[in-house]
Every structure is written in C-alpha cells, then in structure tokens.
Structure 1
C-alpha cells in the first residue's frame, strides 16, 4: 500500500538534520520511500505468528550503563 498524499506532503518537508546533510534531490520521492519502509517494518512486526517472538524494539531502560573505569 502506498503512503497517503497528505503523509507524503508532510514528510517531504526536510528535517533540519536532512537539510544540514545536503538536502535531497527529490524530497517527495524520499518521503515516499521513508514512509513505505516504515509501513513495511510495521507490517513485518504484525506478521509474526502467534506464539513466536518477532523483533522487539530496544527499550532504553534495558541498556547497560557503566562508567568508563568499569569497562577495563
């Protein structure tokens, strides 16, 4: 399924990070690709059969926190 026109138009406005990285030759095509890939990732998570575990988004609370002196 293709992204809706209003979603593409909204996402076609480049973020400051995208502007500072040189912009985009085709912001609309970039927006469509970003939105399509995002939808594909969401659909892949929904396609995991019951009882099986699919990819689990990382929870920042689960990250290990060590000080530099604890790493050696």
Structure 2
C-alpha cells in the first residue's frame, strides 16, 4: 500500500494530567514536534510506544489542527 503524503501543518502533542489523583483537574498539552508528515508520524509512533512509561494521559497526531490519530484509541465502551 502506498502512503499518501499530505502537505500542511503536522503536529504531535502529548498531555500530562495536572493531578493524577484528580483527572477532572485537566491536563497540560506539550507539542512534541511540528513539521513534515514523515517526521510527525515517526514521533507519534515513538510517543505512543512510550506513552504509559512517560505518564501521558493521551498523545494526538494532528494535521492542520484536525486530529488524525490518538492514543489511547477509543474503544466504544462506556463506564
């Protein structure tokens, strides 16, 4: 399968909770990279592989501000 490269602004962000004991307190996003699609996808893959170890609440891959990838993936289950 050939991957289609899309021009535009690519960004990877990771969020950490302000208070791990109180998720309702919100999270702070940190931009891990802004760059080309190839670079963003590489950083996204690395960040999701280490997300739990790094204590990330979530990692998102965005293209022109639109979310195109997210960790953890939504399961469709509700609590």
TM-score normalised per structure 1: 0.29
Structure with the higher fraction of residues in helix conformation: 1
Structure with the higher fraction of residues in strand conformation: 2
| Higher-Rg member (1/2) | 1
The structure showing larger relative contact order (alpha-carbon pairs under 8 Å, at least 6 residues apart) is 2
TM-score normalised per structure 2: 0.27
